[in-house]
Amino acid sequence: MDETNTKLLKRGWTTGACATAATKAALTALLGGGFPDPVEIVLPKGQTPAFALALEGLDDNEARAGIIKDAGDDPDVTHGCLVISTVRLVDEPGVVFKAGEGVGTVTKAGLPIDVGEPAINPVPRQMMVQVVEELIQQCGPSIGVEVEISIQDGARLAEKTWNPRLGIVGGLSVLGTTGIVNPFSCSAWIASIHRGIDVARAEGLQHLAGATGSTSEKAVQDLYGLPDQAMIDMGDFVGGLLKYLRQNPVERVTIGGGLAKLTKLAQGALDLHSGRSQVDFDWLASEIAGLGGPDELCKKVAGANTVLEVASLTAKENLDIGPLIADKARITAQEILRGAPVRVDIIAVDRKGKVVGRSG
């Protein structure tokens, strides 16, 4: 059932797909049909993967089935986890979801799930509801089903995710919009940026910060004393952050990063990943010439291999490129915001987290 992308990286299956398959297997058994193994489900775009069962159990009043999540070649924290669905028939019609061990509960507004509900996102919920409704047709409309999803070791693993910042307590989220995990998915990261902004705004926070990495994040958080919920794990996707803020503004956003990443932003790049944007050293040389840099220095800058090398070269000439890069990066950010009422700050740091450039 494995699929590969154009770079021969193996795709995997979302937690939501695994939970849906486990729910179908458990409910089929509870209704007297035995445990289908493998169990096949239909994904939102029509694919029909089949999942092998890793756990099954049947009592008088409930059934449970478990599936080992295969995230393919994506560095997903839930890869290899056992996703378990326990189902019970109840008198109240409809489908009720419960958070089992290792699945979080929503405690803050701003997410697509109501406060107090299990952290099972809308698409996985709909997938499971569809499976349940198809299976219980034989029982009549007066029967309801309780679906409890658990993820083995989920509480510990959740500490490695955004969930604590998002106000999801007690475990992981059951995620997925297509059922398929695409390795190193840009869209998944950008979606998590959007959710982080939504939660922060719902909390009333009006100063958010996006950082390219942990060093710049710590520097920015320490500088402004921002709460964790205000810190958006932007990574390379500064465009995803700014474009969403354009439509969902806050009073202020601070963007922190190393000189190399912010140089690319200064040059107009909105995806700062090394494989998708590069530093233009001729541009840097031209800007340094504008600061009064001598011709020989500018030639060396144009032929440099890294921004770190450029910083070393300019320091010898008593020229500081940090403020220059921060100023130019801020101009790009403001252009992306297109007049949205958001104040922008840029904080450039070195590899030790020292602020070497600031604008705004």
Q: What are the tens digits of pLDDT across the range 309-333?
A: 999 999 999 999 999 999 999 999 9
pLDDT of residue 74: 65
Backbone angles phi, psi at 221, to 5 degrees: -65, -40
- Lowest mean pLDDT of 51-55, 129-133, 272-276, name the range: 272-276
> Which residue has better confidence, 11 or 294?
294
Give the residue from 128, 154, 181 where a domain finishes.
Answer: 181
pLDDT at residue 185, as a whole number:
64
pTM for the model stands at 0.69
**What integer best gives the mean pLDDT of the chain?**
91
Residues 165 and 304 in one domain: no
193 & 118 share domain: no
- Residue 24's nearest CA partner among 228, 241, 179 is 179
Burial 311-347 (b: 16+ CB within 10 A, else e): bebbeeeebebbebbbbbbbebbbebbeebebebbbb
Residues 149, 271 within the same domain: no
- Cα distance between residue 211 and residue 231, in whole Å: 8
Share of the chain above pLDDT 70, in %: 95
Asked if the model's pLDDT at residue 20 lies above 50, the reply is: yes
**pLDDT score of 75 more than 80:** no
**123, 155, 181 — which closes off a domain?**
181
Same domain, 246 and 298: yes
Q: Answer yes or no: is pLDDT of 308 > 90.
A: no
**Domain interval for residue 274:** 187-359
How far apart CA 349 and CA 254 sit, in angstroms, is: 13
pLDDT of residue 77: 82
In a domain, residue 85? The reply is: yes
Cβ atoms 330, 344 nearer than 8 A: yes
Instruction: Give how many domains the chain has, as a whole number.
Output: 2
Report, as an integer, the average pLDDT of 177-188.
74
Number of neighbours of residue 122 by Cβ within 10 angstroms = 11
Confidence of residue 274 (pLDDT cuts 50, 70, 90): confident
CB 326 within 8 A of CB 358: yes
Are both 54 and 83 inside the same structural domain?
yes
- Shared domain check, 210 and 175: no
Answer whether residue 3 is part of any domain: no
pLDDT of res. 111: 83
pLDDT value of residue 4: 36
Decide if pLDDT at 351 tops 80: yes
